[in-house]
């Protein structure tokens, strides 16, 4: 890490020292705080309006609040807890990846992907990951810590602010590297596919989702959010019972236990048959289409037989398969499947009547797969190919 970056982290650490991350707060909680401070509770809504709609970075700017209240808020809470340590924009000008420093000096990744009328943000839920999938850069780091809810919410706010600045023509040098269509005024979609296992940080995940979804928050539709999991069965069942209609994706990658034990080691705890039961429960409870993710790895899980196993495992389910050609990570023995293998794999699924797509690749040149940029920063350089 450069001296300048180090200095910046110390600055945010000092700035947010002793203060709580504002974005972790729910509206009722802030109303209670206002009440405790002898303020009318409607002040909480005014603060939320400034924070989520105006994207204020400083309580001092909240012009319709009394000065003493603005000062007290600023002593207690912080609206800026993430600082970009590195920004990367892909050559196609549609993907912006930020390595974001947290107040304790840890770093996470978040990615903005622009595609037609969509602006999708890929957020991290943990620093590193405990699951340890051998092809994944986050898995190689182990789990450092959970993100708090505010740190999850603020990744989205970070890109909302960026889009706002872009349209205002004040996004600077970064802004000149990217092209934002006029109809994209704010973040439209969210995927929890950055670093970490979101369902292993369940309560913070849902607190964040609720602030992002609330009308008084960022007002993003739950149906525009997708949480991806490696297969934490009891949490999938709990997820199915949540009232918000958030989508779920399961990272399957193998449909037989021998192979999946290796690729997604949580499989040893909740094997494929148990995972399929939870998947069926999710579909029956929510009536929503489930997604499966399958990172295609050369010679590991890309044979037509593997596709047959997949088709048999999920046959009859209301589901969709996303085939993702692997983004190879260095220091791992895994390579991306050839175009022919990708095509043949897909053909088997299609022959079984299983809806599938090969995920359009975004930001391969900027290590957009989860944890890759951070891994590179730490010296585990990533290998990318077209």
Q: Which of 230, 291, 356, 367 binds ligand SF4 (CB under 6 A)?
A: 230
Q: Give the integer Cα–Cα distance in Å for 348 and 38.
A: 66
Q: Which residues of 300-338 are buried (b: 16+ CB within 10 A; e: fewer)?
A: bbbeeebbebbbebbeebbbebbbbbbbbbeebebebbe
For the purposes of burial, counting CB atoms within 10 Å of the CB of 109, is it exposed (0-12), middle (13-18) or buried (19 or more)? buried
Q: Give the integer Cα–Cα distance in Å for 333 and 27.
A: 48
Confirm or reject binding of residue 230 to ligand SAH (CB under 6 A): yes
Residue 369 contacts which entry, ligand SAH, ligand SF4, none (Cβ below 5-8 A, type-dependent)? ligand SAH
Q: Which of 56, 73, 102, 133 binds ligand SF4 (CB under 6 A)?
A: 133
How is residue 270 written in tokens? 């909740």
Q: Which of 122, 129, 133, 370 is catalytic?
A: 370
Listed ranges 126-134, 158-166, 241-249, 318-326: which one lies at the site for ligand SF4 (CB under 6 A): 126-134
DSSP 334-360: --BPPHHHHHHHHHHHHHTT--EEEPP
Beta bridge partners of 78: 21
- The answer to whether the beta carbons of residues 137 and 374 sit under 8 Å apart is yes
Residue 217 contacts which entry, ligand SF4, ligand SAH, none (Cβ below 5-8 A, type-dependent)? none
Q: What angle do CA 231, 235, 241 make, to 5 degrees?
A: 125
Q: Which is nearer to ligand SF4, 119 or 329 (CB)?
A: 329
Q: Which of 370, 374, 375, 384 binds ligand SAH (CB under 6 A)?
A: 370
Q: What is the closest distance, in whole angstroms, from the C-beta atom of residue 138 to ligand SF4 in the complex?
A: 4
370 flagged as catalytic: yes
Q: What angle do CA 279, 281, 287 make, to 5 degrees?
A: 95
Q: What is the closest distance, in whole angstroms, from the C-beta atom of residue 285 to ligand SAH in the complex?
A: 20
Q: Which of 55, 112, 193, 373 binds ligand SAH (CB under 6 A)?
A: 193
Return the closest-CA partner of residue 185 out of 170, 198, 167, 204: 167
Q: What is the closest distance, in whole angstroms, from the C-beta atom of residue 228 to ligand SF4 in the complex?
A: 7
Task: Provide the annotated active-site residues.
Answer: 109, 370
Q: Which stretches of the chain bind ligand SF4, using CB under 6 A?
A: 129, 131-133, 136, 138-139, 196-197, 230, 251, 370
Binding site for ligand SAH (CB under 6 A): 129, 133, 135-136, 193, 197, 228-230, 251, 293, 295, 324, 326-327, 329, 369-370
């Amino acid at each position: 890490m450069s001296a300048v970056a180090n200095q910046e982290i110390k600055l945010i650490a000092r700035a947010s020292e002793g203060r709580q991350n504002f974005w972790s707060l729910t509206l009722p909680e802030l109303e209670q705080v206002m009440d405790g401070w002898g303020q009318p509770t409607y002040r909480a809504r005014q603060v939320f309006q400034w924070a989520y709609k105006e994207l204020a970075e400083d309580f001092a700017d909240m012009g319709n609040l009394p000065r003493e209240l603005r000062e007290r808020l600023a002593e207690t809470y912080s609206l800026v807890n993430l600082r970009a340590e590195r920004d990367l924009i892909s050559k196609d000008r549609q993907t912006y990846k930020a390595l974001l420093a947290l107040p304790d000096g840890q770093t996470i990744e978040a990615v903005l992907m622009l595609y037609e009328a969509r602006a999708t943000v890929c957020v991290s839920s943990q620093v590193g990951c405990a699951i340890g999938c051998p092809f994944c850069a986050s898995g190689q780091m182990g789990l450092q810590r959970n993100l708090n809810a505010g740190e999850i919410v603020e990744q989205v706010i970070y890109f909302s602010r960026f889009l706002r600045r872009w349209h205002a023509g004040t996004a600077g040098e970064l802004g000149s590297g990217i092209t934002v269509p006029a109809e994209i005024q704010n973040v439209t979609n969210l995927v929890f596919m950055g670093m970490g296992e979101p369902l292993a940080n369940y309560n913070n995940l849902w607190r964040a989702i609720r602030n992002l979804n609330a009308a008084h928050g960022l007002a993003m539709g739950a149906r525009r959010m997708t949480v991806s999991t490696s297969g934490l069965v009891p949490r999938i069942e709990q997820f199915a019972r949540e009232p918000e209609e958030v989508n779920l994706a399961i990272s399957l990658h193998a449909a037989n236990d021998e192979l999946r034990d290796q690729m997604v080691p949580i499989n040893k705890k909740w094997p494929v048959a148990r995972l399929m039961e939870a998947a069926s429960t999710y579909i029956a409870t929510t009536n929503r289409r489930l997604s499966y993710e399958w990172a295609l790895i050369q010679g590991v899980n890309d044979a037509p037989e593997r596709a047959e196993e997949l088709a048999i495992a999920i046959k009859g389910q209301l589901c969709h398969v996303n085939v993702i050609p692997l983004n190879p990570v260095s220091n791992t023995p895994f390579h991306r499947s050839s175009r022919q293998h990708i095509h043949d794999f897909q053909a088997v699924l299609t022959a079984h009547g299983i809806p599938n797509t090969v995920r359009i690749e975004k930001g391969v040149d900027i290590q957009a797969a989860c944890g890759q940029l951070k891994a590179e920063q730490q010296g585990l350089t990533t290998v990318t190919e077209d």
